[in-house]
A and B are shown apart, each in its own frame.
Chain A
Amino acid sequence: MWMKNEDELVSEVLEGDQSSFEPLLRPHRQGLLNMAYRMSGNLEEAKEICQEALIKIYRYLYRFEKGKSFKSWVYKITVNSAYDYLRKRKKSEDIIESQKRQDFDYGSDPEKQFLNREIGTKIESFLQNLSPKEKAVFLLRDGDGFSVEETSKILKCSSLSVRTHLSRARKKIRAQFEQANLGFKREVKSEV
């Protein structure tokens, strides 16, 4: 089946074809939800953040410059929506309630399920101990694989700032790993 590219879909939406909006966003739907989820630490809140981001994406689609990365643009809107949401949440002092972990299906193996959940909960808490900027940089760079330059464009900051926050985030995560003594045994690795 012939797939339309992003620029064509953007043009169709701008010309009033609302049905092209969903296929335009579909390739990024999990990435955006994941980003919002990591930023907020709560799935329901992540959906709210994504909802807000989707509204903004549709409303301001005419501002998107064709030929540039649509993925970076939608991530930028989602990260900004997450920032706004976190700022509001901080004001309402509802942090403890919002950081309740959601349950996910980790597979059929009960032992693996338990271990993964334990590790996951800990890593999740490590992430929540990072500042919003550190978290955003870490998730974009190490989670979603954006380059330093792309991350700096998404977050509207310099490459140097990205590197600084990334280094700080990694150090904090590593320190928390050691502190939590997760007990991973180092596998012999040939690659560096």
Chain B
Amino acid sequence: MVGSDISTSKIASIKAHLEKCPECQQEYDSYSLALEKTKEWLEEDRPDWVEREWQQAVQKAVKEKKTVISPLAPWPFKKAWAFTVMGVLAVALTLLLVIKPFYFGEGIASDSELLSRSQAQLLRSAFQESQQEVVKMTMVLPESGQKIVWFFDKNFELEVKE
């Protein structure tokens, strides 16, 4: 109530109590007096700038502005040490990309490596070509030597042929 920090609904009930209770009234008086005097003093005793000093302070603030990193700059760019780490990482990555082919396959290959590569290429092309339209399946009976031949289309559906 003294500092105007309680709701108006509570003020009424406190007021009613204060009227009945001299002890609380005394307490309240002493409290509000201390606060009132302090506030008065805070209001009266307010130092102010000498105009020249104020202008100097403002000018100093404006001149002392250091280079500010854009607010859009990501976090690491705001730290000097992060620049160093980023630089080292960039150099390491570049070296890795330049040197890697010579150590991991893109460099000079041996004859066996070239052979296995060409075989792999052949297999790949054979696989691509094997997507044939018709599949023929032959069964030979061991007892009579009779041959039975089935023809299937690419969807593996039976296709009768002579």
A residues in contact (CB < 8 Å) with B = 18, 21-22, 25, 29-30, 33-34, 37-38, 43, 46-47, 50-51, 54-55, 57-60, 62-63, 102, 104, 106, 116, 119-120, 123, 126-127, 139, 141-143, 148, 163, 166, 170, 173-174, 177-178, 182, 184, 186, 189, 192
Is B1 positioned at the interface, with any CB of A under 8 Å from its CB? yes
Task: Given A123-B41, A142-B35, A184-B37, decide whether A192 and B66 contact each other with a Cβ distance below 8 A.
Answer: no
Chain B 69-88 near chain A by CB (<8 Å), digits 1 or 0: 00100000000000000000
Q: B37 contacts A57, CB within 8 Å?
A: no
Q: A170 contacts B31, CB within 8 Å?
A: yes
Q: A58 contacts B65, CB within 8 Å?
A: yes
Q: A120 contacts B45, CB within 8 Å?
A: yes
Task: Given A51-B61, A178-B30, A184-B33, decide whether A142 and B49 contact each other with a Cβ distance below 8 A.
Answer: no
Q: A142 contacts B42, CB within 8 Å?
A: yes
- 16 interchain pairs, CB-CB under 8 A: A21-B58, A30-B48, A33-B49, A54-B60, A55-B61, A59-B65, A102-B47, A104-B47, A106-B45, A119-B37, A127-B38, A148-B5, A166-B3, A174-B34, A178-B30, A192-B18
The answer for the CA separation of A144 and B146 in the assembled complex, in Å, is 112
Q: B5 contacts A163, CB within 8 Å?
A: yes
Q: A143 contacts B42, CB within 8 Å?
A: yes
Q: A22 contacts B47, CB within 8 Å?
A: no
A150 shortest CB reach to chain B, Å? 13
B residues in contact (CB < 8 Å) with A = 1-3, 5, 11, 14-15, 18, 29-35, 37-39, 41-42, 44-49, 53-55, 57-58, 60-62, 64-66, 68, 71
Contacts of B15 in A (CB 8 A): 192
Residue ID in chain A nearest B12 by CB atoms: A192
- A interface, by DSSP: helix, strand, loop or mixed? helix
